Amino acid sequence: MAFSTTSSRSADMAKLLLIGRLGKDPEVRYTKTEKEYISYTIATSNQGPVPEGAQPTTTWHHVLSFNPGANNYLRTLKRGSLVFAEANFELRQPDPNADPDSPEGQRQIFLRHESIRVLRVPRGEAEENVSE
């Protein structure tokens, strides 16, 4: 991975496109200043060649949404839904004064929700919707 030392421009961005399943129902949370946001987790599986005897690995991506309009929709999503999500990606460097074992003392990936589309609902959900 290479990083540039030149100053950023307003057109610079980092995006992450994810296709995976929601690990649990999206959760309503609050910042220290009582601003509401939604937290959700998408599980993706590495689909490349797997060494003999090894199992494919799952990566868990934690995404935060601070957009009230999007949050209303995110509340309706259910665990197990196959989704296509787009998020802004930010790498936060550790605080040199923090305990290295604390979250503040470690490098963190921050994913900010931009959009999401449900590709497939969980099987139980689809059967419930047909019977109603």
Q: How many domains does the chain have?
A: 1
Instruction: Specify if 10 maps to a domain.
Output: no
CATH at residue 86: 2.40.50.140
Per-residue pLDDT at 63: 97
Confidence of residue 129 (pLDDT cuts 50, 70, 90): very low
Confidence of residue 9 (pLDDT cuts 50, 70, 90): low
C-alpha torsion sign, points 68, 73, 78, 82: negative
> Is residue 41 within 8 Å of 22, Cβ to Cβ?
yes
d(CA 11, CA 27): 32
d(CA 114, CA 25): 18
Of the candidates 77, 46, 48, 47, the residue with the CA atom closest to the CA atom of residue 63? 77
Task: Provide the domain limits for residue 26.
Answer: 15-46+55-115
